[in-house]
Amino acid sequence: MDRERELQLVGRLRADDPAAFDAVYDAFNARLHNFLARLSGSRDVAEDLLEETWLRLVTHGRRLDPETRLAPWLFAVARNLHTSYRRSRSVEDEHTASLPSLWPSGSPAPTPLEAVESSEAQRRIAVALASLPVRYREALLLVAVEGLRPGEAADVCGITSEAMRQRLCRARALLAQRLADDEGLQLLGLNEVTP
């Protein structure tokens, strides 16, 4: 979406224009869902947070700054909602930790997300990505998957550009380590390319 069209859409969103909402929804719904699903590891949670993200846009549309960049704004809302969700879950987990016998024990079964991955390479990278701490996962998702600039990703996460660059560096190193641990790169021959 070019900047001129984006500014036009922001202006129309400020006037509660349903057609502008539809255009933004079509452009970002799948991307936001992918981001939230990979961040949370659950499609159900992603759907709930996605709905809340869109409702926030509708509620706050009139108060958008005319210069708002839609992608960072929407991803920031989605990311903040996920952070709040995790906080509330950690409180719940504290309460339920004392009741371990009610849940099945042993290694967890593959999640539906893992089952969806069509190829072995995709499965390995998805599993390695899902195993990263959230702050690294969100950095990689925003920059490498969603194509945001590091500066925009920094705005989304509420950190400086320099901190985002460092976070990306660590995230990539950690991802490479996880893939190596899984023998992903070696098995696939992806760390070296022979012409």
Partner 1 sequence: MRIVTPVADLQDHLLRDLQPLAPDPARSTRVRARCRAQLARSRRRSGQNEAVAGLVRRLLAPAVVLAGCALYVASLVSSVLRVRHLF
**Residues that bind partner 1 in the complex, under the rule CB under 8 A:** 16, 18, 21-22, 25, 29-31, 33-34, 37-38, 43, 46-47, 50-51, 54-55, 57-59, 61-62, 113, 116-118, 121-122, 125-126, 129, 140-141, 144-145, 147, 172, 175-176, 179, 185, 190-195
5 in Cβ contact with 69 (< 8 Å): no
> Between residues 32 and 157, which has the closer beta carbon with respect to partner 1?
32
List of residues 6+ apart from 95 with CB closer than 8 A: none
- In the bound state with partner 1, the residue whose beta carbon lies nearer, of 105 and 118, is 118
Q: Which two tokens stand for residue 145?
A: 């998957």
CB of 163 to partner 1, least distance (A): 18
Q: How far is the CB of 106 from partner 1 (least distance, A)?
A: 26
Q: Is 36 exposed, middle or buried (0-12, 13-18, 19+ CB in 10 A)?
A: buried
Q: For 16-160, where are the alpha helices, taking DSSP H only?
A: 18-40, 43-60, 70-96, 112-116, 120-130, 134-140, 150-157
Q: 94 or 127, CB closer to partner 1?
A: 127
> Which tokens in the block code for residue 108?
């967890």
Nearer to partner 1, 19 or 99 (CB): 19
How close are the terminal C-alpha atoms of the chain, in Å?
A: 36
Q: Min. distance of Cβ 99 from partner 1 in angstroms?
A: 31
Minimum Å gap between C-beta 116 and partner 1 is 7
The minimum distance between CB 1 and partner 1, in angstroms, equals 17
